[in-house]
Amino acid sequence: MAMIETVNLTKKYGELVALDNLNLSIEAGECFGFIGPNGAGKTTTIKILATLLKPTWGEARVDGKTVGYQNHLIRPVIGYVPDFMGAYEDMVVQEYMEFFAACYGLHGKTRDKVVGDVLELTDLKHKQFNEVTSLSRGMQQRLSVARVLLHDPKVLFMDEPNSGLDPRARIEMRELLKELRRMGKTILISSHILPELAELCTSVGIIEQGKLAYAGRMADAMKRVHRGTLIRITLEDRHEQAAELLRKVAGIASVVVTAAEGRQRLDVTLDPAAGMPMSDLPNRLVAAGFRMTSMQQAGTDLETAFLKLTKGLVA
């Protein structure tokens, strides 16, 4: 059974269709990256799953419970981290955490231990007596994550948790999310920082104009947009002559001479239908008297997949 599931999930605001028959299925323990242009429907989806919005029609289920009918059973097993943290200005970090721990029904020594453990996990123990509003943006985001971990939820919904963070804060947040994934949490995370999602997530969903353009494993998304194997080759010299040689070889779709970091290289695309082995390339070049300095297969990154699978439409 899927931990998170939507069936024909639709949300309309008057004539505006924010979500259009969205069908998702996310297994327990997955880290699911949810990407799309601004206004595509990511936040609407997350708010419905977090029981903060009612769908117009369709169903959303979390841990087998149906949103709208069993919200009281869903809320104890989820944690929702919005893109911007609202804070109580007159509280220090320890008080803030104790307040929310009490809201979750934690009291006495149990509360003290849980608060201490969560602050340790999120690397905020040294800030426990600082005012919440004095924390940097990155620390406030970590505190927002700490707050939703107090009741040890199975599922985390995270809406742009890295929004507005500096590079160091983004790295710290990424490492925290990796640790939560290792702990077995099911995570649905939306973000515009696609390289970080590619490193963090096991699967991905691409949404555009309220409709799902793609959902599946990260590797499958790359294969879907990949047309032919791209090999990058650098030589000591005579790149143009080498390109002319390779263009005459059956099984090679194209050869382009490009410049990277002040040096020339060959971008060779193999025809997938021909089945030409990569090892043929160095053999042919060396036999013709060219001296190779490097050869590597280029992968398709998530940004390339996103651009090829979407058109930039919004609801």
90 and 211 fall within a common domain:
yes
Lowest pLDDT segment from 86-95, 103-112, 156-165, 300-309: 300-309
Residue 67 inside a domain? The answer is: yes
Assess whether 144 and 250 both reside in one domain.
no
Q: What is the mean pLDDT of residues 288-306?
A: 75
Q: Give the angle 150-49-187 at the CA atoms, nearest 5°.
A: 55
Residues 207 and 252 in one domain: no
**Angle between the 137-149 and 167-182 helix axes, to the nearest 10 degrees?**
20
Q: Is the pLDDT of residue 120 over 60?
A: yes
Say if residue 138 is in the same domain as residue 245.
Answer: no
106 DSSP assignment: -
Q: Residue 127: inside a domain, yes or no?
A: yes
Over residues 5-13, mean pLDDT: 96
pTM, entire model: 0.75
Is the domain of 8 the same as that of 127?
Answer: yes
Pairing of strands 292-298, 229-235: antiparallel
pLDDT at residue number 57: 95
* Same domain for 63 and 139: yes
Average pLDDT, the chain: 87
Going by pLDDT thresholds of 50, 70 and 90, the confidence category of residue 315 is very low
Is residue 304 in some structural domain?
Answer: no
What dihedral do alpha carbons 272, 275, 281, 282 form, nearest 10°?
A: 130
Q: Are residues 140 and 11 in the same domain?
A: yes
With respect to residue 106, please indicate whether it lies within any of the assigned structural domains: yes
CATH of the domain at 256: 3.30.70.100
Q: What is the mean pLDDT of residues 193-210?
A: 84
Residues 130 and 267 in one domain: no
Overall number of domains in the chain = 2
Residues 216 and 247 in one domain: no
Whether 269 is in a domain gets the answer yes
Residues near 1 by beta carbon (within 8 Å), at least 6 away in sequence: 64
Q: What is the pLDDT of residue 307?
A: 64
Q: Give the DSSP H or E segment for 149.
A: helix 137-149
Average pLDDT over residues 279-288: 87
100 or 296: which leads in pLDDT: 100
Question: Which pLDDT value is given to residue 38?
Answer: 82
Average the pLDDT over 61-84 and give the result: 94
Asked whether the predicted pLDDT for residue 72 surpasses 80, the reply is yes
Query: Which of these three, 190, 224, 258, is where a domain ends?
Result: 224
Residues 117 and 176 in one domain: yes
Predicted pLDDT of residue 56: 96
More confident call, 250 vs 313: 250
Average pLDDT value for residue range 7-32: 95
Range of the domain at 243: 227-298
310 is a domain residue: no
Residues 233 and 173 in one domain: no
- Using the CB atoms, write b or e for 272-300: b if 16+ within 10 Å: eeeebeeeebeeebeeeebeeeebeeeeb
Per-residue pLDDT at 48: 97
pLDDT digit string (tens) for 232-283?
A: 888 988 999 989 988 888 888 888 888 766 688 888 887 766 677 777 888 8
Domain boundary among the residues 224, 243, 274 is at 224
* 35 & 120 share domain: yes
The verdict on residue 309 lying in a domain is: no
Q: Determine the Cα–Cα distance for residues 106 and 289; give it in Å rounded to an integer.
A: 74
